Amino acid sequence: MRKVDGGLRAAVLFFGDRIIIEVMRYFALLVLCAVANAQELPQGKGKELVEKICSVCHATDLVASTRATRKVWEGTVEEMYGRGATSTEAEKAQILDYLSKYLAK
Ligand code: HEC
């Protein structure tokens, strides 16, 4: 019997070594899903700003996976600045332009 760490030991005794392969398959699948779901921000003017300003509290996936009208983005941006996002007004305007143009509904 191969030496196995911690909680897996009981499972291995019960199911045999196959459980290791199943567990590895499970994690491989998780990683694949994470990669497939990772959303990239579209290229465009203002992308770097969004990466800089909007990634402070959460991943930019959250932004990249959202589609909204300009009006709705305006509300979201205001909400995020209310939560503590900071930049100059000019940068904020550019972020709104980027979102409205490249992540439009
Ligand atoms: C000060 C922290 C902070 C910053 C900076 C920030 N956000 Fe958020 N954002 C949050 C929190 C907190 C949530 C809600 C938590 C969650 O759903 O994971 C959120 C959620 C969101 C969501 C999901 C929908 C929603 O309204 O809840 C979007 C879209 C979003 N943020 C966009 C942005 C954009 C665009 C920027 C840059 C202008 C930004 N965020 C910057 C804190 C922040």
pLDDT digit string (tens) for 37-50?
678 999 999 999 99
Gap between the Cα atoms of 69 and 67, Å rounded? 7
Sorted by where each starts, the structural domains of the chain and their CATH numbers stand as: 8-37 (no CATH), 47-102 (1.10.760.10)
- How confident is the prediction along the chain (105 residues), in pLDDT tens digits per residue? 556 577 777 777 777 777 667 777 877 777 766 666 678 999 999 999 999 999 999 999 999 999 999 999 999 999 999 999 999 999 999 999 999 999 999
Q: What is the pLDDT of residue 33?
A: 61
Cβ atoms of residues 45 and 91 within 8 Å = no
Atom of ligand 1 nearest to the CA of 92: 38
Distance 80 CA to ligand 1 centre (A): 5
**Which distant-in-sequence residues (6+ apart) come within 8 Å of 27 by Cβ?**
none
pLDDT digit string (tens) for 77-86?
999 999 999 9
7 Cβ inside 6 Å of ligand 1: no
Q: Which of 54, 87, 89, 92 to mutate to test the pocket of ligand 1 (most atoms within 8 A of CB)?
A: 54
